[in-house]
Structure 1
Amino acid sequence: MARKSSKRTSKAKVKRRFRPGRWLFRWTLRGVSVVFLVAVVAALLWSVINPPTTLYMMQESRRLGGVDHEWVPMEEIAPIMARAAVAAEDANFCLHWGLDVVAIRRAIDAGASRGASTISQQVVKNVYLWHGRSWVRKVMEAAMTPLVEALWSKRRILEVYLNVAEFDEGVFGIEAAARHYFGVGPDALTNVQAARLAAILPNPKGRSASQPSSFVRKRAGQILDGAATIRADGRARCFQS
């Protein structure tokens, strides 16, 4: 009996022996679960609550001594502005799930000389992350974007995008941009004004919507054509009521 008891004790010790691989796996799994839960909560929060600011806005506010920003719901934004932004930045916005694989392949083929970020990715970067070209941010952006796409409507994604995008130094969101450049509310923007605002989005500090260069004028014309195209072929259906 004593021998059997000794064997059982020995086996119990073997079972309780520390296994670093298993321990590491267990805690890694727990860490990933916590991060995923936090990401889900964060995505759900801003799906119903309007983000009051972003990290980049706060950085610019400290640098400039304040920024011009006021939230406006999608219902108070001229429909052409939404179509123009999509035509300019992400024509297939209604067709993808956050990452435009076709655009990414084209960017790679072009030697990464052109951008491939979707509107959804830009929203994730602006609302949850920081500006920069680090691989860490890119990986986090790529992981978070499908989650936002799953929990937000396309209309909500575009609404947030138009409200946090930078349109000039210290000017954030379509409400501030419409008044800054044209002295009107976002609901009163004309087709040309909306197209010019969309045309400056990739380089808001280097372009002007009210005093457009020949490039901005030409780009605005292309955007108007694109906005008409996505309205006609149904690629604006996911965000227009």
Structure 2
Amino acid sequence: MVSHALTAVLTDPTAPSSQATLTQLNQELAGMTAQQRIGWGLANLPGNHVLTSSFGVQGALMLHLVTQQKADIPVVLTDTGYLFTETYQFIDELTQRLDLNLQIFRAPQSPAWQEARFGKLWEQGEEGLDQYNRLNKVEPMKQALEQLQVGSWFAGLRRQQSQTRSELPFLEVRSGRFKLLPVLDWHAKQVHEYLTEHELPYHPLWHQGYASIGDTHTSRPMVLGESEEDTRFFGLKRECGLHYEI
């Protein structure tokens, strides 16, 4: 019955019956643990499943949670070429430790070629940032979802991370596929307790005051009185578009 209802939702996600189904499922998911949500998603959501990760501050959380139930799930990373040295080392560490099925996608043009063609887009205001993110994050992710024929996408967004994420549902339909956010309602304390219990590391730069980590030129440590979202993209924006344009 669930699979039939989910098929109907994908066919016409805007139909009143589809909206009612999503509302009911989100109510049910709200009463589950993160592990139960992942198990439900793996058992019921259609198509090929993937997990996306930026290998950020708490990246080990979702990587461990999901691979405990589906060890070979493709883990999609969009590599801009401008990640911190510590991020690349963190990726290597977790890939080896958790035996990840890592799938890396990039823009067709290298960072040097992009700079030669466009200049440093991240220094060109919000419009430049949008173009940079579209080239290096959004388009590579679209390529990943199409190439891997993804039907259902697992991601580690949490409502506590920013205002833009505060109203997200556990389950939604985006661009013809399901998106499930199993740790959406987790707070930082729960994340810390899980990482500690399973002896999993934070990103190395967390110890230097970084609360959110992306590219070297658009991430900085958090100072007293700031929120996590203030530390990204010069405070102009919180999201790169990857989770909102696809």
Question: Is the structural similarity TM-score above 0.5?
Answer: no
Higher strand share: 2
> Scaled by the length of structure 1, what TM-score is found?
0.29
Max radius of gyration: which structure? 1
Q: Which has the higher helix share?
A: 1
Under a length normalisation based on structure 2, what TM-score does the superposition of the two structures give? 0.29
